[in-house]
Structure 1
Amino acid sequence: MSTYAIGDIQGCHQHFQQLLEIIGFNPSRDKLWLVGDVVNRGPNSLAVLHTLMQLGDAVIMVLGNHDLHLLMVAAGVTTEQPHDTLKSILQAPDREKLLSWLRHQRLFYHEDEYALVHAGLLPGWSVDQAEYLAQEVEVILCNDQSFQEFAPSMYGNDPDHWQDSLQGEHRWRVIINAMTRLRVCTREGKMNFAFKANPTDIPAGYVPWFNVPNRASKTHTILFGHWSALGLRMERNLIALDTGCLWGGRLTAVRLEDRTVFQVPCA
């Protein structure tokens, strides 16, 4: 059995299929760990969702900001943006089944020495605390009533840092924003959501979330995506997997057992 961690697919179904062929993926034997953003901007998000659902228990994925955006559009909280490619899902005959499947995916996952998240973790969060906090939000997303009640409050940049005393929508928004939108923060954990560029251009006072000294999650190897300008980065306790397939880069898989890298060039 092999476990393959794969970067942001974002609706690039053809390249995803090519990558599965290259790694010789066998759903009866192997596992896929997906860092989220499986839909949007690419040409065939509907096919990606259908493929993932067909793979069943062979897939473990965490939600990304584009996956949540699809849920917000479907819930009527926001509208499609000019570059969105969500219409095929929203108009699909099995739309409700697809959306329900997506809402039941994790926000964070960890197993043995690895942890899976879309964007990042705040420096004060241990892996165990992150799992506990993610489960708070997952319960809300999975329940029809609580999801409808919380959805209008999900978007927003405040609060921009964590406090144990946070409650309700403010607490859940910080958890979601950190796990699906974080790239840089201060050493104290204040998040900057405006920055999306290369690491060399980070504003003064901020650092990549994974470079904060004494980060509590250093006990595990964190697998994440979201930051395409960062590219593939493999360190002892860190693997960044968003290699910009959507932008003409590559779609990347890393076999966790030996850290072998597999890539498909994306036109």
Structure 2
Amino acid sequence: MAIYLVGDVQGCYVELQQVLSQAGFEAGNDELWLTGDLVARGPDSLKTLRFLQSLGNSAKPVLGNHDLHLLAIWHGLQTPHPKDYLNALLEAPDAAELIDWLAAQPLLRKLPNANAYMTHAGLAPQWDIDTALIQAEFVHACIRGNNRQYWLQNMYGNEPCNWEMATTELEKFRYSVNALTRMRYCTETGDLEFSHKEHPQHNPDNSLKPWFDLDESLTDSEWVIGHWATLEGECPHPNIYALDTGCVWGGDMTLLRWEDKKRFRVASTRTARH
């Protein structure tokens, strides 16, 4: 058995199948770990979710911000954006089953036999790993539970951006969602910041730092992330495996075989979009 990890699919079903074929992925034997943002912006979110659900326990995704947004749309809390191409999924006869499958997925996974973890965005500098595990499980319980709509309705917003300012359950929930699925840059004190997504070499604000430049937990742990397409799969921190290479924007789909760290890439079938 091999473990393969893939960056943000975002409904790019054709490229996902191409990169799995290139790597020799064997359904039923190998595992496919996904960094989140399974849906939206690409043309085939419905085919993507149906395929991943068909893999059973071999598919091991975490949720990204687009996945959580889809859940909010399904429950009537948000309006779909035309560029998300979600109508086929929302109108499918098995949509409710696929949504329940998506809502059952966690926001953090630990890779077997290693001090290595996968989240969509990363690890908040104001957290240690134990806190991240606890908060990810808290959000997971909220999203898959009976009060899902309440939590999704109150998910949106940038505050609190500092973990110490999160005192209520709702504030801790929102901070945790933002840290696990939306974070890229932080202030020098570790506060979350959401207005910048440039590559660190092109960031115009010197007061902001990539989260991984501030995170002491990375000294002896490894993290697999998606979300930050402008990194183009190359993170300057040696313990970070960045796998979102912007397939949906005309870049590549990137797959990492965990055992030997070999990467497989296929080009997008779309022209670059901005």
Pairwise TM-score range, normalised by the shorter structure: over 0.9
Tell me, in whole angstroms, the C-alpha distance in 2 between the residues paired with 1:218 and 1:118: 20
Determine whether 1:24 maps to 2:48. Answer: no
RMSD: 1.4
* Cα 1:129–1:21 shift into 2, 3 Å: same
> 5+ unaligned residues in a row in structure 2: which ranges?
270-274
1:131 equivalent in structure 2: 133
SS in 2 for 1:163: helix
> 5+ unaligned residues in a row in structure 1: which ranges?
none
1:188 equivalent in structure 2: 189
Q: 2:263 aligns with which of 253, 261, 264?
A: 261
Between 20-29 and 6-15, report the one with greater CA deviation: 20-29
- Amino acid of the residue matched to residue 125 of structure 2? P
Query: 1:166 Cα deviation (Å)?
Result: 1.9
Task: Confirm or deny: 8 A CA contact 1:31 1:58 kept in the other structure.
Answer: yes
Query: 1:129 Cα deviation (Å)?
Result: 1.8
Map 1:199-210 to 2 at 5 A.
Answer: 199-202=200-203, 203-210=205-212
SS in 2 for 1:254: strand
- Amino acid of the residue matched to residue 85 of structure 1? Y
Deviations 1:139-176 (A, max 9, x none): 011112x2122221110111112127622211100000
Between 190-199 and 58-67, report the one with greater CA deviation: 190-199
Tell me, in whole angstroms, the C-alpha distance in 2 between the residues paired with 1:183 and 1:10: 18
Deviations 1:190-219 (A, max 9, x none): 11111122222322211110111x522432
Task: Confirm or deny: 8 A CA contact 1:124 1:215 kept in the other structure.
Answer: no
Tell me, in whole angstroms, the C-alpha distance in 2 between the residues paired with 1:110 and 1:127: 11
Task: Confirm or deny: 8 A CA contact 1:73 1:79 kept in the other structure.
Answer: yes
Which consecutive segments of 4 or more residues in structure 1 shift more than 4 A? none
Tell me, in whole angstroms, the C-alpha distance in 2 between the residues paired with 1:218 and 1:64: 25
Deviations 1:206-242 (A, max 9, x none): 1110111x52243211000101111112553110011
Q: How many residues align?
A: 265
* Cα 1:139–1:23 shift into 2, 3 Å: same
- Amino acid of the residue matched to residue 204 of structure 1? N
Tell me, in whole angstroms, the C-alpha distance in 1 between the residues paired with 2:219 and 2:104: 28
**Aligned sequence identity (%):** 39
Q: 2:118 aligns with which of 116, 119, 132?
A: 116
Map 1:15-94 to 2 at 5 A.
Answer: 15-94=15-94
TM-score by length of 1: 0.95
